[in-house]
Amino acid sequence: MTHSENNKRIAKNTLFLYFRSFLTFIVGLYTSREVLAQLGVSDFGIYNVVGGIIVLFSFIQNAMSSATSRYFTFDLGKGDFEQLKKTFNLSVVIHIFTALFIFVLGETVGLWFLNTQLSIPSERMEAANFVYQFSIFAACIGILQIPYMVAINAHERMKVYAYIGIADSVLFLIIAISLGFAPIDKLKFYSILLFCLYIARIGFYIMYCHRNFKETHFKWFWDKKMFLERMGFSGWTTLGAVSAIAALQGVNMLLNVFHGVVANAAYGIMTQVSNAVAQFMGNFSAAVNPQITKSYAKNDFDYMHSLIFRATKFMFLCMFAILVPLILNMDFILHLWLKTVPPFAVFLCQGILVYNLVNTLGIAINSSILATAKIKKLYIMAFISSMLNFLIIYISFKNGYSPEIIPVVYSVMAFLGVTYSFYLSKIYVRISLLRFFKDVLLRLLSIFCIALPLPVWISLKFSGWQALFTTSGGFFILFIPSVFLIGFSPNEREFLVEKFKSKFCKKA
């Protein structure tokens, strides 16, 4: 497949995934509002913090996913089918043992932590333990489905992700509505229904892969050398995942200890907003990452570099276009969205969107480093950064700071992490930092300076619907032409003009 065909495939896959994100985002807005209204602030906070315990144990899930994706996509790029089958089969074996480990850890250390360390109203402890058990089962299922998700992503079957995402959103909506007719405690009923959804999802992944990819017909396989190689890679990705969880869910625990379940509810809203926006980033990343890894496997560094530059630029611009109107109108949007807005939620949501925007600069760069499998320095720094995150927030809470300090610390540490990733990319994949600054960062900074001042000024003068429309309008009036004239290179502008003419000027 030529580079031009690959680029078209990436664009097509991205459109599918953005369409999915748009629908899931719209449906998710109502679903989250309904779940909060049905459960109430206290039970919503309980579910958020109890689920956070499971995330602490399922950090291995993220680590194993990165390792499996790297080796599966690399073998697919090499075209080695026999090695591909071995990689998949060994991955399933590893994930089975990982799920068993998570289960044992959850039923011992996790159960102790839930019942002795968390601040949960005594009358809701029985419900919290009920939810916790179903969360453990859900975490194990999430681990077992990873090899099948990786296979779909490596084969770039993005339509499947789009359909699964849409189906998930519809089912989540049905679950939220069903809470109004719950025959038992709503918190318990919610956890049961979510568990059933996870079962249905893994069933579909297994069935689809079995029918479409011969290498996913599982047979027990063991190779000590391959196992040690993958576990060495997974060891570092596990370190990175631990650090990420410490920064996100560990802070959730601190919130519970210092500020109670109401603050956990605000944090839960922040997490949902962040996840909804991050899904847009993840969709573009899912479309481009396989090509980055495959181009590295073929030693095609010129194409790899061009993918990294374009992906970084387009991800940032897409996020910038989405986030500016949201940040400037967050108070109005949250009150429009939710029946009850928890204290601190507005600033937490604004701050976490800034954090997401900073992170977009490092996504493609980090993908290229993962493709090399030389990840030791990257994840050591990620671990140090996240431990500092946790420590700084802990000290802040001890000294009486409000939860609003959280996204400020996150954003500063994210900027430092992205800077370090740039440095590693120069060493491992021979990225020219000067070219990256000129072709990507300088263009983005120019658009930032042109498009942002006017909507910020407008947001200080108006409120409500008037502010939403005027800030958005003022922003896009400046943003769109600046992207076309400054954000795109001459070749990209020429390509867009030709595409526009071919689509809309044929008759003429």
Over residues 120-166, the pLDDT tens digits come to 778 888 888 888 888 888 888 888 888 888 888 777 777 777 778 77
- Answer for the pair 206, 66: CB distance below 8 angstroms, yes or no: no
Which of 147, 134, 30 lies closest to 98 in space, CA to CA?
A: 147
pLDDT tens per residue, range 303-342: 888 888 888 888 888 889 888 998 999 888 888 877 678 8
Residue 111 has pLDDT above 70, yes or no: yes
Tell me the C-alpha distance between 291 and 421, whole Å: 19
Instruction: Please determine, for residue 196, whether its predicted confidence score (pLDDT) is greater than 80.
Output: yes
Q: What are phi and psi of 146, to 5 degrees?
A: -60, -50
pLDDT in tens, 387-432: 888 889 889 988 888 888 888 898 898 899 888 988 888 888 888 8
CB 20 within 8 A of CB 161: yes
Between helices 224-245 and 376-398, what is the axis angle to 10°? 30
Determine what percent of the chain is predicted with pLDDT higher than 90: 6
The percent of residues above 70 in pLDDT, for the chain, comes to 82
Spell out the domain ranges in the chain.
3-431, 434-508
Tell me what the pLDDT averaged over the chain comes to: 80
Rounded CA separation 27/279 (Å)? 14
SS3 287: helix
DSSP string, 135-196: HHHHHHHHHHTHHHHHHHHHTT-HHHHHHHHHHHHHHHHHHHHHGGG-SS-HHHHHHHHHHH
Task: Tell me how far apart the alpha carbons of residues 252 and 49 are, in angstroms, rounded to a whole number.
Answer: 7
Residue 262 and residue 41 in contact, taking contact as beta carbons nearer than 8 Å? yes
Residue 50 to residue 35: CA distance in whole angstroms: 16
* Residue 256 · residue 114 · CB < 8 Å: no
pLDDT for res 508: 46
CA atoms of 308 and 279, how far apart (whole Å)? 19
Q: Which residue has the higher pLDDT, 68 or 497?
A: 68
Amino acid at site 348: L
- Per the CB < 8 A criterion, the answer to whether 281 and 315 are in contact is yes
* 8 Å CB contact between 138 and 195: yes
Which of the residue ranges 13-27, 243-257, 369-383 would you say has the lowest mean pLDDT? 13-27
Band the pLDDT of 367: cuts 50, 70, 90.
confident
Helix, strand, coil % in the chain, rounded to nearest 5: 90, 0, 10
Query: Is the pLDDT confidence value at 53 over 70?
Result: no
CA distance 304 to 308: 6
- Angstrom CA distances, 458 to 24, 50, 59, 258, 465, stand at 30, 41, 43, 37, 12
Q: pLDDT value at position 495?
A: 62
Q: What pLDDT score does 447 carry?
A: 92
Q: Which long-range contacts (CB under 8 A, 24 or more apart) does 417-424 make?
A: 417/362, 417/381, 417/382, 417/385, 418/358, 418/359, 418/361, 418/362, 418/365, 420/378, 420/381, 421/362, 421/365, 421/366, 421/369, 421/378, 422/362, 422/365, 424/369, 424/377, 424/378
